[in-house]
Amino acid sequence: MSNKASVLPKARIVIISGPSGCGKTTLHKALLISPLLKGRLVKSISATTRSKRPGERQGKDYLFLSTEVFEERIKKGYFLEWERVFDNYYGTPKKQALNLLKKGINVLLCIDVKGARTVAQEFPKALKVFIKAPSMKVLESRLKARGSESKESLELRLKVARRELKEAKYYDHVIINADLNKALGMLQQIVCHELGID
Ligand code: 5GP
């Protein structure tokens, strides 16, 4: 009997989660352009209903959608997973991720802990990495330094961060981002090792 699974490409989903302000955006962007992973790990562009931050580009950082369009797409089964995070919708478009996997390209999802759980149920082999700031105090000062959050948004992000940190134990690896270069080194090492890239 032929074993179909053995001839399928062994691409994997890599999930990076962590509280807002922990540095996961900077880290994942650096990860994607690292020489060993460039072209072998591609980020899934999430859709969101939140407003664009300065410098963000439509279709590059996020697919920015209206609430109406997002809700229509939920109904049509457009998302692999979707969640409400900080009073906005965020979701992973299904087709894009599945097409990459079919081509044998590993897919990076930078998603919240609830979305990560949903994806991990469907893809038990997904590699899950959690990024932490060294402390809540450091997280708060990083969020403040970003300057893009209102007082309410900052409070909400800190409250959600406390909840998200409790989920770290369900991840395959936890990286404490005290020093960006060291954290990036660890992330590269973990991802390359787990994906069998050297
Ligand atoms: P931000 O607004 O700071 O870009 O992202 C807020 C949170 O939403 C982060 O924790 C981020 O990882 C999460 N997020 C971004 N895209 C997605 C997605 O497609 N699905 C889910 N579940 N969370 C997402």
pTM of the model: 0.92
Q: In the predicted model, what is the mean pLDDT of residues 31-37?
A: 95
**How far from the centroid of its chain's Cα atoms is residue 135's Cα?**
21
For residue range 9-21, list pLDDT tens digits in order.
589 999 999 998 8
Q: 39-48, 139-148, 184-193 — which is least confidently predicted?
A: 139-148
Contacts of 153 (CB under 8 A, 6+ apart): 86
The ligand 1 site (C-beta within 6 Å) comprises 20, 46, 50, 81, 83, 85-86, 90-92, 110-112, 114-115
- Using most ligand atoms within 8 A of CB, pick from 78, 112, 167 the residue to mutate for ligand 1: 112
- 104: pLDDT strictly greater than 80: yes
What pLDDT score was predicted for residue 9?
59
| Residue % of the chain over a pLDDT of 70 | 95
**13-195, superfamily in CATH?**
P-loop containing nucleotide triphosphate hydrolases (3.40.50.300)
Closest Cα to atom 14 of ligand 1: 111
List the chain domain ranges: 13-195
Among the atoms of ligand 1, which is closest to the Cα of residue 79? 19
Give the residue among 155, 180, 166, 142 at the shortest CA–CA distance from 17.
166
